[in-house]
């Protein structure tokens, strides 16, 4: 069984900030817009290096999206930055009409996603954003798992023509993917190989899936663990290949089970290869205030919850 090492906990939003800084140096068309959260989004260095390409819009997220859409007409590649709740729910009409419908090359970069936002509570902990964004025609949806992958994704989406939603988080989490990885939009990453169950995870739940796989291996259950960083377009081929081998699947995500990764996988399986599936996700609920660890435990978004889901789904084979 392949072992993964946490090289030191780092927040994924810093991966975004460092990726943006690197882009600023090598691509003069990259511009950045922020809605009064420069420090939280780790956009300070880009601002310092390229003040002429940084635009502080203030607490006016709808205006930010409209400005970004307009900038693409002149050939710029705008990266917008604010919390995920404000990046999607607050500005959905502007994203739909000015970005998605118009096919504009805007990169919507959303930090503090999910329940691990922590103490700020339910009003800021959006658990519906993946569903909102993946339903928009032409919108690519990416949810990264650690610092290295977030940095790589940030750099990669600048080369991709079309609207992108890049989702990442607030807390420091395990950093375990390669620093020199080749990030390919729409391509799943196989982390472990097994024969008894497929575990498909995204975002912060990828590390939890690896921990769960280690625990399961000790009891004789081997798992395919797949990192789905791109939720749309989904890597249908990789998922179907694995589930045809293992015969069952657990999906794991820091998002509502309605509208998230699990629902996309269920749609794929129902039309191509029906198989038992269990969902590790929030169950049609809002969050609450607490530490990330407390909330992940209460809402069943950790390695222990994945192990329980595997035990249930393998019994259904």
Q: Show which residues are catalytic.
A: 61
Q: What is the DSSP string of the chain?
A: ---------EEHHHHHHHHHHHHHHH-TTEEEEESS-TTTTT-HHHHHH-GGGEEE--S-HHHHHHHHHHHHHTT-EEEEEEEHHHHTGGGHHHIIIIIITTT---EEEEES-SGGGGGG-TTT--SSHHHHHHTSTT-EEEE--SHHHHHHHHHHHTTS-S-EEEE--SSEE---S-TT----TT--EEEE--SSEEEEE-TTHHHHHHHHHHHHHHTT--EEEEE--EEES--HHHHHHHHHHHS-EEEEEEEESSSSHHHHHHHHHHHH----EEEEEE-S----SS-HHHHHHHTT-SHHHHHHHHHHHHHT-
């Amino acid at each position: 069984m392949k072992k993964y090492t946490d090289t030191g906990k780092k927040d994924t939003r810093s991966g975004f900030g460092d990726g943006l800084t690197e882009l600023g140096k090598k691509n003069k068309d990259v511009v950045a817009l922020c809605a009064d959260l420069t420090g939280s989004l780790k956009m300070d260095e880009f601002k310092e290096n390229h003040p002429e390409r940084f635009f502080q819009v203030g607490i006016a997220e709808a205006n930010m999206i409209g400005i970004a859409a307009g900038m693409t007409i002149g050939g710029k590649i705008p990266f917008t930055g604010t919390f995920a709740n404000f990046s999607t729910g607050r500005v959905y009409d502007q994203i739909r009409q000015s970005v998605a419908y118009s096919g504009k090359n805007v990169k919507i970069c959303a930090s503090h996603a999910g329940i691990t936002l922590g103490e700020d509570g339910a009003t800021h902990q959006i658990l519906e954003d993946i569903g909102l964004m993946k339903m928009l025609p032409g919108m690519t949806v990416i949810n990264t798992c650690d610092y290295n992958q977030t940095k790589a994704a940030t750099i990669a989406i600048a080369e991709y023509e079309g609207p992108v939603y890049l989702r990442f988080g607030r807390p420091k989490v395990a950093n375990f993917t390669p620093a020199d990885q080749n990030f390919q939009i729409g391509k799943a990453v196989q982390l472990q190989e097994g024969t008894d169950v497929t575990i498909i995870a995204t975002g912060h739940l990828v590390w939890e899936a690896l921990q769960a796989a280690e625990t399961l291996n000790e009891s004789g259950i081997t798992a395919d663990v797949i990192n789905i960083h791109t939720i749309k377009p989904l890597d249908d081929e990789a998922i179907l290949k694995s589930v045809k081998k293992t015969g069952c699947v657990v999906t794991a995500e820091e998002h509502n089970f309605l509208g998230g990764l699990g629902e996309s996988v269920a749609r794929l399986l129902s039309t191509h290869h029906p198989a038992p599936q269990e969902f590790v996700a929030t169950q049609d609920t809002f969050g609450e205030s607490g530490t990330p660890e407390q909330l992940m435990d209460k809402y069943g978004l950790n390695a222990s919850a994945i192990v329980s889901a595997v035990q249930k789904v393998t019994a259904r084979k």
